[in-house]
């Protein structure tokens, strides 16, 4: 095999690998859309409201709400003005419990509160729950 053929084969092989990588990167979103589950992308979360120490309502986009159940209690979540939601699934999509954790700053350090349940709820139910826990 001459150098020209080896280079051409290398370029074709590299192009095939890149195409496969792009297909795999788009695959989680396609799987989420086709699974029938009510998933959301962690990057689209723009607000949260604690409804006690073991549950949080989050706003995704403009008018989608989810209740996230936390394992045990997360003592400072109902006092915190900021919190982070980190996906633990290897992608940005959160579909079910154990796909995420809430990260809450506290005087004693950072609290990590694993999510054990993800439930889409109606805007009316979300607003009622938030009003009841002010």
* 81 lies in the same domain as 52: yes
Looking at the structure, tell me whether residues 50 and 20 fall in a common domain: no
When the pLDDT of each residue in the chain is averaged and rounded to a whole number, the result is: 78
Residue 2: domain span: 1-36
- pLDDT category at 23 given cuts 50, 70, 90 is very low
Checking if the pLDDT of 87 tops 60, the result is yes
85 and 98, same structural domain? yes
Asked if residue 32 has pLDDT above 90, the reply is no
Laid out side by side, the sheet with 100-106 consists of: 45-50, 55-60, 64-70, 109-121, 100-106, 84-87
Whether residue 56 sits in one domain with residue 92: yes
Rounded to 5°, the CA angle 113-81-37 comes to 50
The confidence score (pLDDT) of residue 36 equals 57
Same domain, 72 and 23: no
What does the chain come to in residues?
A: 134
Indicate whether 127 and 95 sit together in one domain. yes
User: Does 126 lie in the same domain as 103?
Assistant: yes
The verdict on 32 and 71 lying in the same domain is: no
pTM listed for this prediction: 0.71
My answer on whether 44 and 24 are in the same domain is no
The count of structural domains within the chain is 2
Same domain, 48 and 99: yes
**Percent of the chain clearing pLDDT 90 (strictly above):** 53
Same-domain pairing of 77 and 123 = yes
pLDDT level of residue 107 (50, 70, 90 thresholds): confident
Q: Is the domain of 32 the same as that of 50?
A: no
């Amino acid at each position: 095999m001459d150098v020209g053929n080896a280079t051409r084969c290398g370029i074709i092989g590299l192009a095939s690998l890149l195409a496969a990588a792009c297909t795999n990167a788009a695959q989680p979103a396609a799987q989420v859309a086709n699974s029938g589950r009510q998933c959301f992308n962690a990057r689209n979360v723009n607000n949260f409201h604690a409804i006690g120490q073991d549950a949080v309502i989050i706003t995704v986009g403009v008018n989608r709400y989810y209740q996230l159940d936390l394992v045990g209690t997360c003592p400072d979540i109902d006092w915190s003005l900021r919190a982070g939601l980190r996906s633990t699934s290897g992608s940005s999509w959160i579909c079910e419990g154990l796909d995420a954790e809430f990260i809450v700053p506290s005087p004693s350090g950072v609290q990590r509160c694993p999510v054990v349940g993800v439930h889409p709820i109606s805007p009316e139910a979300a607003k009622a729950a938030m009003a009841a826990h002010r």
